[in-house]
Chains A and B, each alone.
Chain A
């Protein structure tokens, strides 16, 4: 079945450095959704990408959907302590109304 691979599993950065997490699939992704889960919290919906090559920005966060719709990325510029948490991508499949989740990337700010 459909699988969404997300890398890296963890990323340690200094505050102020950039952060990127990638989602990949061997098959075409339908609609990519991104969620953020703060430590001890619940996942919070960030954005949905639908179109091939789509790029959306939310302040320091940039979301991209690949031209072939087989990958997506989330890039955070100049990380802040408030960015700490786990970022999940998920493919929303119109055919069966299901979200296929990536394993998440944990953003850790080095002290």
Chain B
């Protein structure tokens, strides 16, 4: 158990639908990051939050949005889902910016399948 909790672990939904992925960061970590990983591909950075504020955006589609709540948990909302959105979605957390001897701590991911 890495300390980062992601739910649900698996999600199957139809095209055009909307889903919400949830992440609870490791205790004490202020930064939350969302990543997308397609089958056997690298990690695509989507968005970062730090202490409730959006800090950086990566290749996040307009159909996707996220937020970090006062208790520091974060949600990633994916709407108007397409087949190509099927992927593993990881949440990671870090104490501050992530440049430390602890790096990022990743959750186990949510596997999204769009049918």
Report A's interface with B, CB cutoff 8 A.
30-31, 33, 35, 41-46, 48, 88, 92-94, 96-99, 101-104, 106
- Assess the B56–A92 pair: CB atoms within 8 A: no
- Once the chains bind, are B97 and A88 in contact (CB under 8 Å)? no
| B97, A94: Cβ atoms closer than 8 Å | yes
In this complex, how many residues of chain B approach chain A with their Cβ under 8 Å: the count is 26
Q: Is the CB of B43 within 8 A of A101?
A: yes
Q: Which residues of A contact B101 (CB under 8 A)?
A: 48
- What chain B residues lie within 8 Å of A92 (beta carbons)? 97-99
Give Cα distance in the complex from A48 to B101, angstroms: 6
* Contacts A/B (CB < 8 Å), 20 sampled: A33-B103, A35-B103, A35-B104, A41-B108, A42-B107, A43-B104, A44-B2, A45-B105, A48-B99, A88-B42, A88-B43, A93-B99, A94-B99, A97-B31, A97-B96, A97-B99, A98-B48, A98-B56, A101-B42, A101-B45
Cβ contacts under 8 Å, B56 to chain A:
96-98
Binding site for A on B (CB under 8 A): 2, 31, 40, 42-43, 45, 48, 50, 55-56, 90, 92, 96-109
**Distance in Å: Cβ of A7 to nearest Cβ of chain B:** 13
**Chain A nearest CB: distance from B46 CB in Å?**
12
Residue in B40, B48, B50, B109 whose beta carbon sits within 8 Å of that of A42 in the complex: B109
Complex A-B, nearest 5 residue pairs according to Cβ-Cβ distance, in ascending order: A45-B103, A97-B97, A42-B106, A92-B99, A103-B42
Give A58 Cβ to nearest chain B Cβ, in Å: 13
